[in-house]
Structure 1
Amino acid sequence: KALRVHCIDEGWEAQWGTWQPNGKFPEGLADYARHVKAAGGIPGIWTAPLLVNTYNPLFYDHPEWFASRADGQLQTDSFSYGPMAYLDVTLPAVQDHLRQLFQRLRQDGFEYFKVDFCHCILKAARFADPTVPRAELVRIAFRVIREAIGPEAYLLGCGAPYESVFGSVDAVRSTGDIHIYWGHVLTNVGAIAARWWMQDNLWNCDPDFLVVRGPDTARAPWFKRRVVAPAGPDGGWMAGREFNEAEARVYALLVHLSGGDVVLGDQLELLEPLGAEILRRVLQPRPRAVPVDLFTSEQDPPRLWISRGREDTLVVVFNWTDKPARVDLDPAEHGLRGTPRDFWTGAAVTALPTRQARRSALALLYGPDQAAP
């Protein structure tokens, strides 16, 4: 019952530039949306509408629709999805193209729109209308998209400059991409911490997929291809092995504490009972947490996060390092008293630990009568 939106992510389209379904959806998108709604869900869809594959018919049919480099040559870049050119959103014809695309998707029944790779058009230097400021380029695109889908549809700007989409979107991506490697978590925690204040004030924050799969929590396969990298966090974005149980709990808590959108990215039927239980505990929405030691943590990311709700207060102490760490928590300093419960088990925590294992989180729940007004 907690799962509401069923969003088709990248891979449904015939080609970037031809936003029609491929063979995975033989009955069409409207049929998919009808099935989702019949089951009580909200149909969603991902697009990257500002990028067009240079082998796509749209690129050949409308060569004048694309932005250029500073020297006047066409701006193209190679992506995992092919060579791409960027639509010139200052052109009325391009705006009409975007409007018709999203009106069609809305008519197909979609109510949730994830619009990705938005910032990439800023790689281009020259647009048809040179008087349009650069911050206005993405704003034009999102203004057109919002007009096309209407005020009731949910619009997520993914990879969008924040100043360009304020007032048009319901949510933004607040982090980089995530995978099931510790290096991803270390990369994303800083973004979540720095942008905690945006949640509920400007929009909803999307910290990317909540994933918990790994050898301890799910049946194989956990990935399409194994990434070989050094074990330490300095090894890069995908550094180290897949999540173990403790690391999966750390990341699940981090997404939970963000207070933002929760988008599941695991193949749910492959999760073991342990993995499913971790998800179950963090699916219920919770007020955004404050990273209390954002500027004072002895570790690079903040360790102490506090989420104060009407029913309870959640206190989490993280250890982001590869060594055991001290737990220096005085609940009274934060207006908390009494015996907390363990977030995962509900058991009373009669004595706070003084040491914390590597890559772990201590999660404590205080009841409403245990928090100072």
Structure 2
Amino acid sequence: MSLSPGFDVVHEVAVSDGAEVFEHGWQSFSPTTTYALGARPHRPTSERNRMLNYRQSSHPGPDGYFGEGVLAVSDGAGSVHVVAAEDPFTTGVRLQAVVSGSVVVVGADGPVAVRVVPGSSVQEALRSWAVSAVAAAGLPAARPAPTAWCSWYEYWGGVRREDIVENLSAMRSLELPVDVVQIDDGYSAEIGDWLTPSATFADLRGLVEQIRGEGRRAGIWLAPFFAGARSRLAAEHPDWLLRHPHGGALHAGNNWNQDLYSLDLSHPGAAEWMHTVFSTFASWGIDYFKIDFIAAGAIPGVRASGADPVTAYRDGLRLIRSAVGPSAHILGCGAPVLPSVGLVDSIRVSADTGHTFAPDDGDMCSPSQEAALLSARGRQFMNGVFFANDPDCLIVGPKVENRDAWAAHVEAVGGAVVSSDRLAGLDDWGLETTRRLLTR
């Protein structure tokens, strides 16, 4: 097997029994793990999954290994070879590893640096590389994440104002140490129309004031690089949407039973609008922002500025930060992981979790505890170095399969802890576990 066109040989590793290869996925939901040499890697099971959960310009096959920004080979003799982009945070270098007899050949489509770490596990070697990369970039230390409660896993998109108020009351009566009450998807009229409330959130600002009046911080969910096909945003400003090279708006996937478009935040009008959205929420007192599906900001397409996808994505995050201020907490989800370093405070390091263990479609990017466990463990080396790792929400209600194992995983990650059960519906074990993990 040979390297793909456009990839040049950058390193070769002589391997023996016990050799392993670490693949790093492009964004939060992309599978990330270490494989025994010869094991077949996880790949998308459908084109929809690939569009929403993998890098759209990458098409790794089932044979060989593929890393976005970084790849590592444990040679079986005690050393780990970490091959990473020279500038892993501002470029989108891709890597391949193919087996040729007793040698693993590593290729890349851009400049890389090789770090050989003897006497180390893969995770230890990757953490050593991460510490060095942060120091080389002159980035500040990662900030810890506040504890939070999120509406998503109990109420999904059908959440109502009354649901938030009920859980706010339960936090008080149960004396739970929740810093942030985060309203998830369901409060806005459409994907992209963030300042237009849904029918169940007529007074969103008043709800934010009520949360803050309880002495807690207010948080909110947005997918800032998306405009749904049903949104006023897409209908009224088609010139703000990312374009195909040959013209026409560029689809960024399909979800919420509609086509999705990527918003080109390099367009002055789109940039002004998005700054207004975030600064408006910040002026209400919201200082925790879960920004989701943000890989849509880094897909290939024609942008008003002419910027490449990674630069445009990072510029978009800087725009958001300028609107919310330096002290607000930004959680990136569905995020290109390495290009987000230094620009978000915490990041989802896996697929969504779920009330069941296995993914329905067998895809290790799809919502499930199994997929979430896989990539969070693969990215554990990042926690406290690049950002606070978010393993996804703590869900421990009676209807959750393997809830004790899932709680143990969230605790072991040691990063963000975000409860997402209906608090009044927890049994004794679920309540005690939630209280324990929220208490630091």
For Structure 1 versus Structure 2, the TM-score category normalised by the shorter chain is 0.5 to 0.7
User: Which residue does the alignment assign to 2:43?
Assistant: none
Of the three residues 292, 295, 300, the one matched with 1:116 is: 292
User: Which residue does the alignment assign to 1:272?
Assistant: 427
The answer to whether structure 1 residue 106 and structure 2 residue 282 are counterparts is yes
Shift of the 111–8 alpha-carbon distance from structure 1 to 2, 3 Å rule, reads: same
Give SS of 1:15's match.
coil
Deviation string for 1:46-100 (max 9, x for gaps)? 0012111222222222111111234323212321252221111221221111111
How far does residue 124 in structure 1 lie from its aligned partner after superposition?
A: 4.6
How far does residue 255 in structure 1 lie from its aligned partner after superposition?
A: 0.3
Structure 1 segment 166-205 matched on structure 2, within 5 A: 166-183=341-358, 184-205=368-389
8 Å contact from structure 1 (residues 46, 114) kept in 2: yes
Partners in 2 of 1:100 and 1:80 — Cα distance?
A: 25
Deviation string for 1:311-340 (max 9, x for gaps)? xxxxxxxxxxxxxxxxxxxxxxxxxxxxxx
Partners in 2 of 1:57 and 1:191 — Cα distance?
A: 36
Structure 1 segment 323-334 matched on structure 2, within 5 A: none
Structure 1 segment 169-248 matched on structure 2, within 5 A: 169-183=344-358, 184-213=368-397, 217=398, 222=399, 242-243=400-401, 247-248=402-403
User: Which residue does the alignment assign to 1:84?
Assistant: 260
How far does residue 22 in structure 1 lie from its aligned partner after superposition?
A: 1.6
Count of aligned pairs between the two proteins: 254
Shift of the 280–11 alpha-carbon distance from structure 1 to 2, 3 Å rule, reads: same
Partners in 1 of 2:438 and 2:182 — Cα distance?
A: 17
Partners in 2 of 1:101 and 1:53 — Cα distance?
A: 16
How far does residue 211 in structure 1 lie from its aligned partner after superposition?
A: 0.7
8 Å contact from structure 1 (residues 30, 109) kept in 2: no
TM-score (norm 1): 0.65
How far does residue 165 in structure 1 lie from its aligned partner after superposition?
A: 2.1
1:79 partner letter:
N
Of the three residues 254, 257, 263, the one matched with 2:412 is: 257
Of the three residues 128, 140, 156, the one matched with 2:331 is: 156
Deviation string for 1:208-242 (max 9, x for gaps)? 111112xxx3xxxx4xxxxxxxxxxxxxxxxxxx5
User: Which residue does the alignment assign to 2:188?
Assistant: 13
1:264 partner letter:
S
User: Which residue does the alignment assign to 1:49?
Assistant: 224
User: Which residue does the alignment assign to 1:232?
Assistant: none
Larger RCO (CA within 8 A; separation ≥ 6): 2
User: Which residue does the alignment assign to 2:234?
Assistant: 59
User: Which residue does the alignment assign to 2:63?
Assistant: none
Partners in 1 of 2:324 and 2:308 — Cα distance?
A: 25
How far does residue 272 in structure 1 lie from its aligned partner after superposition?
A: 1.4
TM-score (norm 2): 0.55
The answer to whether structure 1 residue 95 and structure 2 residue 271 are counterparts is yes
Partners in 2 of 1:202 and 1:133 — Cα distance?
A: 23
CA RMSD of aligned residues (A): 1.6
How far does residue 172 in structure 1 lie from its aligned partner after superposition?
A: 0.7
How far does residue 120 in structure 1 lie from its aligned partner after superposition?
A: 2.1
User: Which residue does the alignment assign to 1:283?
Assistant: 438
Partners in 1 of 2:310 and 2:408 — Cα distance?
A: 34
8 Å contact from structure 2 (residues 300, 308) kept in 1: no
Partners in 2 of 1:251 and 1:17 — Cα distance?
A: 33
8 Å contact from structure 1 (residues 253, 282) kept in 2: no
Deviation string for 1:233-285 (max 9, x for gaps)? xxxxxxxxx51xxx211110100011111111111111111221232333333
8 Å contact from structure 1 (residues 185, 251) kept in 2: yes
Give SS of 1:37's match.
helix
How far does residue 170 in structure 1 lie from its aligned partner after superposition?
A: 0.9
User: Which residue does the alignment assign to 1:227?
Assistant: none
Partners in 2 of 1:136 and 1:39 — Cα distance?
A: 40
Structure 1 segment 350-365 matched on structure 2, within 5 A: none
1:207 partner letter:
P
Give SS of 1:269's match.
helix
8 Å contact from structure 2 (residues 297, 316) kept in 1: no
Q: Using the aligned pairs only, state the percent identity.
A: 28
User: Which residue does the alignment assign to 1:367?
Assistant: none
Partners in 1 of 2:280 and 2:336 — Cα distance?
A: 26
